Amino acid sequence: MTLLYTEVEEELRASVRDLLADRCGSDAVLKRIESDTPYDMELWKTLAREIGVAGLLVPEEYGGAGASAREAAVVLEELGRAVAPVPFLTSAVLATKALLEVGEEDLIQELASGETTAALVVPLAASPYRPPRETVTVGEDGTLSGEVRGVAGADVADVLLVPVDSALYQVEAEHARIEVVPSLDLTRPVATVTFSGAPGEVLGHFERREVLAFGAGLLASEQLGVAEWCLDTTLAYIKERHQFARPIGSFQAIKHRMADLWLDVVRARAAARNAADLLAAPSAPAPDHLAPSGTSGAAGADAELAAAVAGSWCSEVALHVAEESVQLHGGIGMTWEHPVHLYLKRAKASEIALGTPGAHREAVAELADLPAPA
Amino acid sequence: MTGEDVASLAREFLAAHDPGDRLEFLRARFDAGLAWVHFPEGLGGLGAPRELQQVVERELAGTPQLDTGVQGIGLGMAAPTILAFGTEEQKKRFLRPLWTGEEIWCQLFSEPGAGSDLATLATRAVRDGDEWVVDGQKVWTSGAHHARWAILVARTDPDVPKHRGMTYFVCDMHAPGVEVRPLRQITGEAEFNEVFLTGVRLGDDLRLGEIGDGWRVAQMTLMNERVAIGGAPVRRGGGMVGVVAETWRSRPELRTHDLHQRLLRLWVESEVTRLAGARLREQLSVGQPGPEGSGMKLSFASLNQELSGLEVELRGEEGLEYDDWSFRRSDSVDFFGRGTGYRYLRAKGNSIEGGTSEILRNIVAERVLGLPSEPRVDKDVPWKDLPR
C-alpha cells in the first residue's frame, strides 16, 4: 500500500485536469448552472470516451479499465477541484459499485463505455449506517410505486437502480417521473423520483452498507479537491489583495488561519488516500465472476473504518475551508460572479451526503471500540 | 546497496558479536556501519538510503537498544548538525560516543530574553587566542545535568544585525564556569535546567561551522528538532489517544455523551494526523521531501493538550488528585507517562518547546504557502542597538 500517488495516477490526473481546464472553467460552470441543462453531458461523454473514466471500477473483461478505487479517487479530486457538473460519483461510482456487488454483467458494460448513465435511487443524504426509509413498494404485478426525494444524478440517467427492501431493481428512466428541485448545490442538483406502476427487473441483493460506505469513502476525495481549490484560490487572492498598503496575506491574523487550513488539508489528503487505498484492496474481483467482493472480515473492517474517518474529516475540512475562503475573499466572496459560492454550496451539500460527519463518527465508535455511554 | 545487502550485513554482524555486553555490542554496531545506515562509512553508516535503517532495526530487534529518552537531543539534533557542519576531526571525535550513549548531549539555545526570537540571543563568545570565552545564561535545557556536551549558539559580533553575528559551538559541560541549576516546572518536577556560563573557555576546535554562520547551522538543528518532536511513527490508536481510549474502555461508569462526542472527534483527528505523518515518511523515503513536516508538531501539540485535558475531566473525582508534586529531577522526557494530571500539565509544553505553535504557523505560512512576512523593524539594525 502507499499513501502517495503512483505515476499512472498522476497521468490520469493530468489528462482529467487538462480536459477540465479546457471545457469546465468557472465561467462556463457559472453559466451552465442557470441553464436548462445543469449537467454537462457532452463533457461527460468526452471524459468517458477519451479518458475512460466511466469504467475505472469495472474489470477489463466487462469493457472497463480494471482500475480501482485509488484511480477513481484521483478523478474525484479533479472533479471536485472544478465542481464539474458530471455524473461520475452517481453513475461511475455509486451505481457501478451497486451493480458490481450484485454481480450484474450486461448493464455494467454499457456503463463502463459511458454510453449509458445510471443512478442509484436513494436520497443523496442516505447514511450507510442507518436502515433506509422504505418509500417504494413492489405491487403484485411486479411494478414499482412510490417516491424518493433528494436523488442526485437521476435527471441525467438512462437507467435507475432502485433498492426495495433489500433487493435492487432496474427501471428504465423513461418509466419514472424525475423532477429536479431547486437545490442548495447548483453543480449537483437533486431530484424527486416518482414511480407509478413502473416495470422493473430485479437484479439481486442490494449491499446497502457496502455500497454507500464505499461511496462515502470516495466522496472524501472529491471533498479534498473542493478544499484544495478553495485553499489555492484564497492563497492567490490574499497575496494580491492590498489593504493598509500591504498584501492582506502578510497579516498574522490571516497567515495563522491559512496555516491551520493548510494543515487540515494535508491531513485530509492522507485520510482520503488511505480510504481509497483500503477500498481498492478488496474490489479486485476474481476474473471469472463479479461476485460480491466481501467487505467483511478484518480487511473489510479496516476499509470501513478508513472510509468513516475520511468521510467525517474531509467533509468538515472541505466545508471549513470553503467557509473561510468566502470570509477571506471579503466582499467579492459574497458575490454571484465569483465562483467560490459554488464550492461553498458543494461543500455544504456534501457534508450531508452519504452520512454526516456525526454519522461517520458513530461508525468510528463501533469500529474502533469506543462505545457510547450505556 | 539494497535491503537484502543490508539485511545480510546485519545478520553477519549479529553472528559475530555477543549482545550480552551492551556497550561493546553498541560500539561494534557503530563500527560496522549499522548505527544509522544513511551516515557515511566510518561514521556509523554505510552511505545507504535512509529507509534501509528499518531493515537493520528488524534484524537487530531484541539486541541492546539506545536510550532514546536520554539520548534524544544528541541523536535527533546534535548528530545531524555535526554531520552537516563538523570537521572530519569533530565527526570522528563526537559521533560514536554520542550514538552509543557514552556521552549525553543537551542544547544551549533559548535564553530568558530570547525565546521565539532566538536570533536576539545575548550569550557572548569573545575570541582569546585559540580559545573563546563564553558568558551568558541559557534556559529550558533538558538533561543538562546528565550532559557531557552541549550544542551552543552564542553572539560573536554584536555590531552586525542579529542573524549575522552568531557562531555555533560544542560546549564542554565539564568546563569550569558551567553551572547547571534545576528549573522547577508546573508539573512539580525539574526536567529542565537553567545553565549559567561564566568565563567558560572553549577551544576554537569546538566551533561548528564558520564564525558568524551560527544562525544557518542552528536552522539545521531546529528543523530536526521539530521532526523529532512531532514526527515519530505511531500505530493506529496509539500515542496519547491510546492512553485516553484505554481509560474510556476500562471505565464505562465514567462515560458521558458529551465526552463521547469529543473523544470521537479527537480519535479521528489523531488518526488523520497519524496518516499524514506516515505519508510524510513515505515521501521522505522516496526522496520527495514534503513540507508536511512543519505541520506535524502543530497537530501533535494540540492533540496532546486536548486529549490529556479530556482525560482529567473524564476521571472526574480522581481528576482532582495529582500523583506527586515533589521537586525532583526526572531522568528523561516522557510525554505519556505518570498520572493523568501530570500528562495534562506536561502537554502544555508541547506548544512552546521546539518552536511555539505561533512561530510554527508563521513558518508554514511563509515557507510553505509563500505568504509575505510581517514588516520587520529589527532586520538591518546592529544587534547592540536593538531595544531590549
Instruction: Determine contact, residues B295/A263, Cβ cutoff 8 Å.
Output: yes
What are residue A152's phi and psi, to 5 degrees? -95, 140
Instruction: Determine contact, residues A326/A343, Cβ cutoff 8 Å.
Output: no
DSSP assignment letter at A69: H
Within 10 Å of residue A33's Cβ, how many Cβ atoms?
A: 17
Closest by CA position to B143, among listed B330, B341, B366: B330
Per-residue pLDDT reduced to its tens digit, A47-93? 999 999 999 999 999 999 999 999 999 999 999 999 999 999 999 99
Q: Listing from the earlier edge strand, what are the strands of the sheet with A136-138?
A: A136-138, A143-152, A190-199, A177-180
Q: How far apart are CA A328 and CA A235, in angstroms?
A: 9
Give the chain B residue nearest A254 (alpha carbons).
Answer: B365
CB contact under 8 A, B272 and A267: yes
The answer to whether B353 is a known catalytic residue is: no
Q: Looking at chain A, which runs of residues are DSSP E strands?
A: 118-120, 136-138, 143-152, 159-164, 167-172, 177-180, 190-199, 201-205, 242-243, 246-247
CB contact under 8 A, B282 and A4: yes
Contacts of A268 in chain B (CB under 8 A): 272
Q: Which of B189, B225, B306, B311 is catalytic?
A: B225
> In the predicted model, is pLDDT for residue B285 greater than 80?
no
Selecting from B256, B295, B371 the residue whose C-beta is nearest the C-beta of A239 gives B371
CA atoms within 13 A on the CB side of A241: 16
Q: How far apart are CA A348 and CA B167, in angstroms?
A: 53
- DSSP SS3 for B148: coil
The count of residues in chain A is 374
**DSSP state letters, B219-271:** HHHHHHHHHHHH-----TT-HHHHHHHHHHHH-GGG--HHHHHHHHHHHHHHH
CB-count burial class (<10 Å; 0-12, 13-18, 19+) for A22? exposed
Q: How far apart are CA B236 and CA B271, in angstroms?
A: 7
Q: What is the largest CA-CA distance in chain B?
A: 71
Closest-CA distance of chain A to residue B361, Å: 5
Selecting from B249, B255, B272 the residue whose C-beta is nearest the C-beta of A270 gives B272
Contacts of A361 in chain B (CB under 8 A): 261, 264-265, 268
Instruction: Determine contact, residues B77/B224, Cβ cutoff 8 Å.
Output: yes
CB contact under 8 A, A239 and B295: no
Closest by CA position to A44, among listed A73, A67, A19: A19
Residue spans of the domains in chain B: they are 3-65, 105-213, 231-355
Q: How far apart are CA A279 and CA A69, in angstroms?
A: 6
CB contact under 8 A, A255 and B361: yes
Give the chain B residue nearest A367 (alpha carbons).
Answer: B264
> In the predicted model, is pLDDT for residue B226 greater than 80?
no
A242 touches chain B (CB under 8 A): no
Selecting from B255, B269, B279 the residue whose C-beta is nearest the C-beta of A3 gives B279
A259 touches chain B (CB under 8 A): yes
Contacts of B248 in chain A (CB under 8 A): 370
3-state percent helix, strand, coil for chain A, nearest multiple of 5? 55, 15, 30
Contacts of B283 in chain A (CB under 8 A): 4
Domain range B105-213, CATH class: mainly beta
C-alpha cell at B289: 521531501
- How far apart, in Å, do the first and last CA atoms of chain B sit? 54
Selecting from A259, A263, A309 the residue whose C-beta is nearest the C-beta of B271 gives A309
Give the chain A residue nearest B359 (alpha carbons).
Answer: A256
Closest-CA distance of chain A to residue B35, Å: 27
What residues contact residue A322 under an 8 Å CB cut-off, 6+ apart? A226, A227, A230, A340, A343, A344, A346, A347, A348
Best mutation target among A242, A263, A320, A369 (most B Cβ atoms within 10 Å) is A263
If you average pLDDT over residues B118-129, what whole number do you get?
97
> Which range, A303-317, B290-304, B351-365, has the best average confidence (pLDDT)?
A303-317
If you average pLDDT over residues B346-367, what whole number do you get?
92
CB contact under 8 A, B268 and A309: yes
Question: pTM of the predicted model, to two decimals?
Answer: 0.92
Residue spans of the domains in chain A: they are 7-116, 136-205, 208-367
> In the predicted model, is pLDDT for residue B284 greater than 90?
no
What residues contact residue A5 under an 8 Å CB cut-off, 6+ apart? A13, A74, A273
Give the chain B residue nearest A274 (alpha carbons).
Answer: B275
Give the amino acid at A325: S
Q: Is A208-367 a CATH 1.20.140.10 domain?
A: yes
Instruction: Determine contact, residues A250/B371, Cβ cutoff 8 Å.
Output: yes
Q: For position B228, what pLDDT does the model report?
A: 56
- DSSP SS3 for A216: helix
Q: Is A7-116 a CATH 1.10.540.10 domain?
A: yes
Q: How far apart are CA B28 and CA A269, in angstroms?
A: 43
CB contact under 8 A, B252 and A373: yes
Q: For position A164, what pLDDT does the model report?
A: 96
What residues contact residue A164 under an 8 Å CB cut-off, 6+ apart? A134, A136, A137, A138, A144
Per-residue pLDDT reduced to its tens digit, B239-279? 999 999 999 999 999 999 999 999 999 999 999 999 999 89
Q: How far apart are CA A157 and CA A116, in angstroms?
A: 8
The average confidence (pLDDT) of chain B is 92
CB contact under 8 A, B279 and A269: yes
- DSSP SS3 for A273: helix
Instruction: Determine contact, residues B140/B349, Cβ cutoff 8 Å.
Output: no
Best mutation target among A1, A5, A256, A370 (most B Cβ atoms within 10 Å) is A370
CATH number for the domain running over A136-205: 2.40.110.10
pLDDT in tens, chain A (374 residues): 899 999 999 999 999 999 999 999 999 999 999 898 999 999 999 999 999 999 999 999 999 999 999 999 999 999 999 999 999 999 999 999 999 999 988 999 999 999 999 999 999 999 999 999 999 999 999 999 999 999 999 999 999 999 999 999 999 999 999 999 999 999 999 999 999 999 999 999 999 999 999 999 999 999 999 999 999 999 999 999 999 999 999 999 999 999 999 999 999 999 999 999 999 985 444 333 333 444 445 678 999 999 999 999 999 999 999 999 999 999 999 999 999 999 999 999 999 999 999 999 999 999 999 999 99
Selecting from B256, B271, B364 the residue whose C-beta is nearest the C-beta of A262 gives B364
C-alpha cell at A230: 478553495
